[in-house]
Structure 1
Amino acid sequence: MDHVVARKFVDGWVTAWNAHDLEALLAHFAEDVTFRSPVAAQLLGGDGIIRGKAALRAYWAEGLRRIPGLRFEVIDSYVGVGCLVINYRNQKGGLVNEVLIFDGPLVVEGYGTYPGGDADPAGAASD
């Protein structure tokens, strides 16, 4: 992934989140995506692993329902080989890193990560 493609992805990602436009956001994810997050475990129960685009849509829709004022501010992004890390601040000021693994243009695996395991569903429920 080059830096121009990464910047375009990050800009679209944050715009979609801040507009609460799940379909625009999910357009970048593969049907069989796997997403892991401690917030998912708190919000939905279970092991915190979301399997498939439909389940990811349901998880993020629930997060937006619970946090209608959700808003992200991108601090920085980091490009790797087939991966991208988005460092952002949520609406409560909490720092989050989203680690995204790509297969071609689509995200096939993602991880929501928090400082010291700080996953507060009231403040960060839609990583």
Structure 2
Amino acid sequence: MIEKDFAEEFARDWIESWNSHDLDRILSHYSDQFEMSSPKIIQIAGEPSGTLKGKESVENYWAKALDLLPDLRFELIALMIGVNSLTLTYKGARGQMAAEVFHFGPDHKVSKAYAHYSVE
């Protein structure tokens, strides 16, 4: 079970990391075998499955996304705790609502994440 203190610290640092645009700091939350699924991967990375595997692949995608959105800022709306997982809802690029589900490994690093976005 995810502890409340860990969840709150993760959420705070994750939002701050993205808002700082510090890619190394962002990536510090994730395992090397991290897997990410997002409809934005299809748009930005051109990967038709919407899924990237491995920290290096995700790093390249996020670097490109940060270049495309130099004013990107996230605003945390809610934090939800699950069993070995968290969900953050937040305002993202251009105020679009997003929910991201994070699954954690035994090392407390994110092993899988699934991003969802409001319909525009």
Same fold (TM over 0.5): yes
TM-score, normalising length from structure 2?
0.93
Q: Aligned pair count?
A: 117
2:81 pairs with 61, 79, 82, which one? 79
Indicate the percent of aligned positions where both proteins have the same amino acid: 32
Which residue of structure 1 aligns with residue 113 of structure 2? 110
* 2:44 partner letter: L
Match of 1:101 among 96, 100, 103: 103
Q: Could you tell me which amino acid in structure 2 is paired with residue 22 of structure 1?
A: L
Letter of the 1:113 counterpart: H
Alignment correspondent of 2:26: 25
Question: How far is 1:70 from its partner?
Answer: 0.3
Tell me the CA shift for residue 45 of structure 1.
1.3
Structure-1 residue corresponding to 2:44: 43
Q: Matches of residues 11-22 of structure 1 in structure 2 within 5 Å?
A: 11-22=12-23
Stretches of 4+ aligned residues off by more than 4 angstroms: none
SS in 2 for 1:71: coil
CA RMSD of aligned residues (A): 1.0
- 1:63 is paired with a residue whose SS is helix
CA distance in 1, matches of 2:17, 2:116: 20
Counterpart amino acid of residue 80 in structure 1: G
**Corresponding letter in the other structure for 2:55:** K
Which residue identity is paired with 2:43? Q
Q: How many Å apart are 1:114 and its aligned residue?
A: 1.4
TM-score by length of 1: 0.88
